[in-house]
Amino acid sequence: MDVVGRRTAGVGVRLLVAAWGCWVAACSADDVRALVPVSQCTNDEACVEADDRYDVCQWVCEGHVTYCQVSCEQDGDCRGRGLPDDYVFCDIPRPGEGFCNPYGYGYPDGACDQEVPEIPDAP
């Protein structure tokens, strides 16, 4: 195989690996569709329209941007809701604003901005 042939084969292999990586990211091992992050939401209804597993629009910890979230009060609330298997943590950055996620930050009290603007309900 000449140099051009090896380069072409190498590109093909890299494309195949990249395509496989995209497929793995979109489909979890438990055959549940991935929960794609949705930022800059303006109300809860917009989140439900984006993915019916989302139920609330909330500020992130620092209070600079909003994200659609799956609300919870404890870890057990994240089970049986059609979420990927690794969404087992309920993190609570502010009282009443728990959300399911695969990270488990375990925010200590006062770690996040507590004064954030209210997000209006859909009209």
For 47-80, write each residue's pLDDT tens digit: 999 999 999 999 999 999 999 999 999 999 999 9
The percent of residues above 70 in pLDDT, for the chain, comes to 74
Which one is predicted more confidently, 90 or 2?
A: 90
109: confidence class by pLDDT, cuts 50, 70, 90: confident
Residue whose C-alpha is closest to residue 54's, from 63, 46, 62: 46
Q: How many CB atoms lie within 10 A of CB 76?
A: 10
